[in-house]
């Protein structure tokens, strides 16, 4: 669930978390589909960003993450437990990029 700046909101997106005011009152429920009108209301509330349904896009290219993974685990090459952790992290990185 990515956190999106209000200026990047588009109709059809859905809130992943409820939008609340400073006293905790829910202004828009989780799952609310955004329309032009609702986006304008969010902007008028002075909200900076909201959480939107959907997968977050990684901030770095896949190759950068895999290179960093190799560097971080370079000193643990003979450790079976660390190899399992490295494998799990590699699989997670691969899954993030489809």
In the chain, domain spans: 3-51, 62-96
Other beta carbons less than 10 A from residue 51's beta carbon: 17
Please write the tens of the pLDDT for every residue from 64-96: 999 999 999 999 989 999 999 999 999 998 887
Bridge partner list, 28: 19
Q: Which fold has domain 3-51?
A: Molybdopterin biosynthesis moea protein, domain 2 (3.90.105)
Output the average pLDDT for the chain: 90
The predicted structure's pLDDT at residue 46: 86
Which tokens is 33 given?
A: 């589909």
If pLDDT is split at 50, 70 and 90, which confidence band does 56 have? Answer: low
* Helix axes 62-72 and 80-96, enclosed angle (nearest 10): 170
pLDDT beyond 90 at 14: yes
Closest of 64, 34, 65 to residue 50, by C-alpha? 34
Contacts (Cβ under 8 Å, ≥6 apart) of 67: none
pLDDT beyond 80 at 55: no
- Average the pLDDT over 30-35 and give the result: 95
The predicted structure's pLDDT at residue 57: 67
Contact, 48 vs 3, CB < 8 A? no
The predicted structure's pLDDT at residue 32: 95
Prediction pTM value: 0.56
In whole angstroms, how large is the CA radius of gyration of the chain? 19
């Amino acid at each position: 669930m990515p956190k999106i700046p209000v200026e990047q909101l588009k109709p059809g997106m859905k809130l992943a978390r409820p939008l609340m005011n400073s006293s905790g009152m829910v202004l828009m429920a989780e799952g609310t589909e955004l329309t032009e009108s609702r986006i304008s209301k969010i902007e008028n509330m002075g909200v900076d960003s909201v959480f939107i349904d959907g997968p977050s896009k990684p901030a770095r290219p896949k190759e950068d993450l895999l290179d960093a993974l190799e560097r971080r685990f370079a000193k643990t090459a003979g450790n079976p437990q660390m190899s399992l952790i490295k494998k799990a992290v590699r699989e997670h990185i691969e899954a993030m990029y489809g």
